[in-house]
């Protein structure tokens, strides 16, 4: 069912320059169809509303989901855990926090996925500007990666 919904959604998202991040359809009497979209620079509530209206019209015309359902169109928040290499590409240049299997965490600027598809490069800042270095992180070393806020960068803008 998610693939059929994706086919209905793609013309809408392509027109708006959006990426489809995730589609999930719950089960039960009052099903929840959750669609997550994003684009470089983020999305605002107007774009989410346009996607929601367009998809709702398509779903109602096709009568795909039997019975009542709720449609929720969102964008990934800072706590969205990267799931695919496309996420590392999409958020290339963003500040991220990597959670390692051994319990440690490292923050830095995501420099994108490795060509091999089994990791990504993180630019880690040190205490001094000369301490900045790139670190290759393999997916089997981490439990999750999320976008984060570089508070040092935020405070220097004031």
Domains of the chain, first to last: 2-74 (3.30.300.70), 85-156 (2.30.30.100)
pTM, two decimals, is 0.80
Q: Is the Cβ–Cβ distance between 110 and 124 less than 8 Å?
A: no
Q: What is the pLDDT of residues 44-101, one digit of tens each?
A: 999 999 999 999 999 989 888 877 889 999 999 888 999 999 999 999 999 999 999 9
Dihedral of alpha carbons 111, 150, 75, 22, sign: positive
- Is the pLDDT assigned to residue 17 strictly greater than 70? yes
Q: d(Cα 113, Cα 151) in Å, to the nearest integer?
A: 24
Stated as kind and residue range, the H or E segment containing 120 is strand 119-124
- HEC sequence for 45-83: HHHHHHHHHHHHHHHHHHCCCCCCEEEEEECCCCCCECC
- pLDDT surpasses 80 at 28: no
Share above pLDDT 90 across residues of the chain, in percent, rounded to a whole number = 72
Average pLDDT over residues 117-125: 96
22 forms beta bridges with 36
């Amino acid at each position: 069912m998610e693939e059929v919904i994706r086919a209905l959604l793609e013309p809408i998202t392509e027109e708006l320059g959006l990426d489809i991040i995730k589609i999930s359809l719950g089960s039960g009497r009052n099903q929840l169809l959750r669609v997550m979209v994003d684009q470089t620079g983020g999305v605002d509530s107007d774009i989410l509303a346009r996607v929601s209206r367009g998809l709702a019209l398509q779903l109602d015309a096709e009568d795909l989901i039997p019975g009542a359902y709720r449609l929720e169109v969102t964008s990934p928040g800072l706590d969205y855990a990267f799931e695919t290499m496309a996420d590392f590409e999409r958020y290339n240049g963003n500040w991220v926090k990597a959670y390692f299997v051994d319990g440690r965490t490292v923050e830095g600027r995501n420099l994108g996925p490795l060509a091999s598809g089994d990791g990504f490069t993180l630019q880690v800042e040190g205490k001094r500007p000369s301490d900045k270095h790139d670190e290759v992180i393999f997916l089997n070393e981490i439990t999750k990666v999320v976008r984060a806020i570089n508070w040092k960068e935020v405070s220097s803008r004031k």
